[in-house]
Amino acid sequence: MTPPISDRPSLTSPSAPSGEGASDIDFGFTRVPIAEKQGRVAEVFSSVAGSYDIMNDLMSGGVHRLWKGALMDWLAPRSGQKLVDLAGGTGDVALRFLRRGGGSAHIVDINEDMLNAGRKRRDLTSYADRLTWTVASAEDIPIDDNSVDRVTISFGLRNVTDRQAALAEAHRILKPGGRFCCLEFSHITTPALGKIYDLWSFQALPRIGRIVANDEAAYRYLVESIRTFPTQQELADMFSQAGFAQVRVRNLSSGIAAIHSGWKLD
């Protein structure tokens, strides 16, 4: 059973997930044909790839570093462990995994511009022999069944077209006894904080995106995509549907972000 999670706060998105057999899907607060979402997301991340790491600091006030630290605490990397980081982009999570003692990291991202930005990072050069970079979708990972120890996805699942398929793929490539962790923006559990967060998200962030990344629309989409993402409980249920056991959820910063964890038992 999945643990009980507080309901989503009073803000409700105007774009709920499509049901089975639907022909459209959320792209922020807009609905688009399912076949178009991947291309639109690719355009967003190609546009912001060069400033992505800087914008992460600005979007979260630098708190994303603490959240990723909490993710590593849960993963507890060990020597010899193989990590696959889905939607791994510029390699930030992979770098933390290796610094914490992990064995090797395979970064998978559908956007080559993001991977190229990661390859240019100076702080990754000393780990080059333990890193692999692959352009691929989280919905169709070119990695063998039962072959890796840990799988992560950080701030990427909400941009995946078929999230349930991505969760199933994470389960497939894990060895029995392997662990999957998802770090993602989520839904605030403190209404008073929610009002401040809404003001920051909808007013400040797109303007910062315009100044720093020269792309206000991309960051407006990213803000909207958080609001249309499943609640903590809904995502925990999706983990269970994908076959994960011992599903746990940890809210971070009153639910601004959350870590979901699940184990592959056999």
Does the residue 207 lie in any domain? yes
pLDDT tens-digit profile of 157-182?
998 999 999 999 999 999 999 999 99
Average per-residue pLDDT in the chain? 85
Specify the range with the lowest mean pLDDT, choosing from 74-83, 140-149, 199-208, 226-235.
Answer: 199-208
Q: Of residues 71 and 46, which shows the higher confidence score?
A: 71
Contact 198, 223 (CB under 8 A): no
Does the residue 9 lie in any domain? no
Q: What share of the chain in percent tops pLDDT 70?
A: 84
Contact 97, 121 (CB under 8 A): no
Does the residue 18 lie in any domain? no
Q: How far is CA 257 from CA 16, 28, 40, 265, in A?
A: 19, 17, 24, 26
* For range 251-266, the mean pLDDT: 95
Does the residue 7 lie in any domain? no
Does the residue 14 lie in any domain? no
Q: Which two tokens stand for residue 121?
A: 């990072």
Quote the DSSP letter at residue 19.
-
Q: What is the end-to-end Cα distance of the chain in Å, rounded?
A: 17
Does the residue 150 lie in any domain? yes
pLDDT band of 27, cuts 50, 70, 90: confident
Residue range(s) defining the domain that contains residue 72: 24-263
* CATH at 118: 3.40.50.150
Does the residue 40 lie in any domain? yes
User: Which pLDDT score, from 0 to 100, does residue 59 have?
Assistant: 67
Q: Of residues 14 and 237, which shows the higher confidence score?
A: 237
Q: Which two tokens stand for residue 129?
A: 């022999």
Spatial distance between the Cα atoms of 198 and 253, rounded to a whole number of angstroms: 14
pLDDT band of 203, cuts 50, 70, 90: confident
pLDDT of 190 > 80? The answer is yes
User: Which pLDDT score, from 0 to 100, does residue 198 have?
Assistant: 78
Contact 261, 236 (CB under 8 A): no
Query: In the chain, how many domains are there?
Result: 1
User: Which pLDDT score, from 0 to 100, does residue 53 have?
Assistant: 67
Q: Of residues 8 and 190, which shows the higher confidence score?
A: 190
Does the residue 44 lie in any domain? yes
pLDDT band of 85, cuts 50, 70, 90: very high
